[in-house]
Chain A
Amino acid sequence: MIPTSHYLVVSLLLFTTGVIGVLTRRNVIIVLMSIELILNAVNINLVAFSQHLASLDGQVFAIFVITDAAAEAAVGLGIIIAFFRNRQTLLADEMDLLRW
């Protein structure tokens, strides 16, 4: 069996990668994808602890996280399309007007 700490380290690496993506990329779609990476890292943690504690609650939480990711992706991509239609750009640092 693999110790739970191994899963934690994998999840950590994925989480940091996601954070770097969110903080540094300019393309909004890639920023959204990095958020998915972060949520995914959280899920690995939840499932690993679910097995560690021999209880299925963690897996149920993971299902809720996936639901949340779906909702977030739907709304986020909707916003991106609306933004793109108005400004013809996908760059996060050009989203600097409060109104247009």
Chain B
Amino acid sequence: MTNEILFYFFAGLAVLGGVLVVTMRNAVHSAVFLITTLLATAGLYLTLNAEFLFVVQIILYVGGIMVLFVFVIMLVNLDVALHQVQFNRQTWVAGLLSFALLAELLAAVALARSYGEENWLFAAPHVPTVTAEGNTEQIGRLLFQNYVIPFEIASILLLVALVGAVVMGKKRI
């Protein structure tokens, strides 16, 4: 029961925040609602027993990436942008296509309900057996044993991004 309440609360918050991100005129307001969505998603991770990811989401997304976003929005603080047209010319086509995409994906989920072997997607999922070591230790073991090479590639990606950001930030390119 508590789990359901938490899920619907966080899910509603996430979707509402997402819609407001896209519709807000002011970029800072968008950022605030994106933070709301990200925090709600962190809450969803908690309902999925992924407490390490919950913390990573808050530290990296909310405390890192979103600070960067807000920082840049303030750096390019542009009052003119508020009075311009906010949407593209192709808005209607794009919106129509997006809703078509949504309908298609929802139909896929609905179809899966009618096909699935004993509706496995719709029954309550298996709960991972609780082991002596916690979620964090397990993820660490997995990350540094099975996924060492992707991990190293990810760190190279970060290094490249760092250099790229520094080059982009220079006065003259």
Shortest beta-carbon distance from B74 to chain A in Å: 11
| A5-B109, A54-B127 given; A59·B22 CB < 8 A | no
Q: Are the C-beta atoms of B147 and A60 separated by less than 8 Å?
A: yes
Query: With contacts A23-B98, A30-B30 known, is A91 near B18, CB below 8 A?
Result: no
The answer to whether B4 has its CB under 8 Å from any CB of chain A is yes
Number of A-B pairs, beta carbon distance below 8 Å = 245
In the A-B complex, the 5 residue pairs with the closest CB atoms: A78-B168, A71-B161, A23-B94, A1-B124, A21-B22
A43 neighbours in B (Cβ, 8 Å): 41, 53, 57
CB-CB under 8 A from A66, the residues of chain B are 56-57, 60-61
Q: Do residues A6 and B121 form an inter-chain contact, with CB atoms below 8 A?
A: no
Task: With A17-B21, A33-B21 as known contacts, state yes or no: A80 contacts B139, CB within 8 Å.
Answer: no
Chain A residues near B121 (CB, 8 Å)?
3-5, 8, 52
- 25 example contacts (A-B, Cβ-Cβ < 8 A) are as follows A2-B3, A4-B121, A9-B106, A16-B99, A17-B19, A20-B95, A23-B88, A24-B95, A25-B87, A30-B21, A36-B38, A37-B18, A40-B38, A47-B50, A50-B50, A51-B48, A54-B125, A57-B142, A57-B146, A59-B52, A66-B60, A67-B157, A70-B60, A77-B165, A93-B88
Picked from A10, A19, A67, the residue with its CB within 8 Å of the CB of B44 is A10
Contact A21 B21 (CB under 8 A): yes
Which chain B residues lie closer than 8 Å to A37 at the CB level?
18, 21-22, 34, 37
Of chain A, the residue at the smallest CB distance from B162 is A74
Counting chain B CB atoms within 10 Å of each CB, the highest count among A18, A23, A55, A85 belongs to A23
CA distance A74 to B168 in the complex (A): 10
Add 11 more A-B contacts to A36-B34, A43-B53 (CB < 8 A).
A12-B106, A27-B81, A29-B30, A33-B21, A54-B127, A54-B128, A57-B142, A59-B53, A70-B161, A74-B68, A91-B81
Residues of A within 8 A of B91 (CB): 23-24
Q: What's the Cα separation between A67 and B169 when bound, in Å?
A: 21
| Contact residues in A for B49 (Cβ distance below 8 Å) | 51
| Contact in complex: A69, B21 (CB < 8 Å) | no
Determine which of A20, A64, A69, A82 lies in contact with B168 in the assembled complex, contact meaning CB atoms within 8 Å: A82
Complex Cα–Cα for A50 and B45 (A):
11
**Which residues of chain A are near B105, meaning CB under 8 Å?**
12, 15-16
Interface pair A56/B142, CB less than 8 Å apart: yes
User: By CB atoms of chain B within 10 A, which of A10, A19, A33, A80 has the most?
Assistant: A33
With known contacts A2-B3, A20-B22, A44-B41, A51–B127 Cβ distance under 8 A: yes
